[in-house]
Amino acid sequence: MDIEQIRTFLSVAANGSFQEAANRLYVTQSTVSTRIQRLESYLRVRLFVRNRSGAHLTQQGQRFLRHAKSLLLTLEQARHDIGLPSRFRASITVGARIALWEELLPHWIGEIRQQSPDVSIRCDIGFEEDLMRRLIEGNIDIGLMYTPQHSPGLKIEHLFDEMLVLVTTTPDIPWPDDNYIYVDWGPAFYAQHSSSYPNLERSAQVVNIGWLGIQLIRNNGGSCFLPIRMAEPFIRNKSLYTVPDSPQFRLPAYMVFPQDRDCMVLQQLLDELRTLAATERNKSYESITG
């Protein structure tokens, strides 16, 4: 058994497909099959059931999943520790949706850098599917997102609720306007949006991140739903305006991390993130009641 076999096993488990795992690992499908066969031969069990819908873990595969994550994390940590300059005592990788990097997480990283300058931090941007896959594969230590999926060995913890507000560049034009941009904030937002606007036609413009919605309406005019913490600076300088009598939608934000990883640095970062989240919850409460 070697690290490439473990990495390949985790990639197949995360993607549910030998072919997709091969694409992610930049190898051929036959290479993936060979690695899995050798791993199964070493463990003397069958790890996957393959059919037309993809590859699914057997009971033995499910049990091995936790051990595989632990093995890979240990090996990756050893590689990082060996390669780190002597002034760093640990290395942590954080991945999050781009909207959460807007003001919120940079403040958190700044606090960590002040308190622990001897910790190396890598920051990545991604969507839920990619972030969950990388968490399963052990390539990131903390994932922050809106719609996480449950997976063995990973813990999901609610941080705070974003409050999405409808903003526009042209408050004198009745809403809905022709330049309304639908920002795809995920299934929870879709359900709330559909319930509030059951007769609203599909928007001519659809984007998958709030940052792009901001760029489009500021350049071309229009409206879209944004987290109030992202919209507030533009509202203050009067480049954006809230649409009167429009609903506010809740969008829960979560952090996901390995459940059984005993790492003091990781726990410190999680605790700091919880403190930051408490501040955001208070802000959200004040925006609702104020």
What is the phi/psi pair of residue 210, to 5°? -65, -35
Closest by CA position to 69, among listed 151, 183, 163: 151
The number of domains in the chain is 3
Domain contains 220: yes
Q: Which domain holds residue 59?
A: 3-64
Compute the mean pLDDT over every residue in the chain, rounded to the nearest whole number: 88
Residues 170 and 236 in one domain: yes
Q: Does 125 lie in the same domain as 85? A: yes
164 within 8 A of 251, measured Cβ to Cβ: yes
Residue 74 falls within a domain, yes or no? no
Would you say residue 241 lies in a domain? yes
Looking at the structure, tell me whether residues 167 and 243 fall in a common domain.
yes
**203 and 259 inside one domain:** no
* Burial of 235: CB neighbours in 10 Å, binned 0-12, 13-18, 19+: middle
pLDDT digits (tens, 9 = 90+) for 205-258: 999 999 999 999 999 999 999 999 899 999 999 999 999 999 999 999 999 998
- The CATH number of whichever domain residue 35 belongs to comes to 1.10.10.10
Mean pLDDT to the nearest integer, 100-119: 88
Tell me if 280 is assigned to some domain: yes
pLDDT tens for residues 61-94?
998 988 888 788 777 766 666 666 778 777 888 9
d(Cα 57, Cα 47) in Å, to the nearest integer?
6
One domain for residues 166 and 274 = no
pLDDT, one tens digit per residue, over 156-210 is 999 999 999 999 999 988 898 889 999 999 888 999 999 999 999 889 999 999 9
pLDDT of residue 289: 41
Enter the pTM of the model. Answer: 0.69
pLDDT at 278: 85
- Model confidence band, residue 290 (pLDDT cutoffs 50, 70, 90): very low
73 within a domain of the structure (yes/no): no
Establish how many alpha carbons lie within 13 A of residue 269's alpha carbon, considering only the half-sphere containing its beta carbon. Answer: 27
CATH of the domain at 243: 3.40.190.10
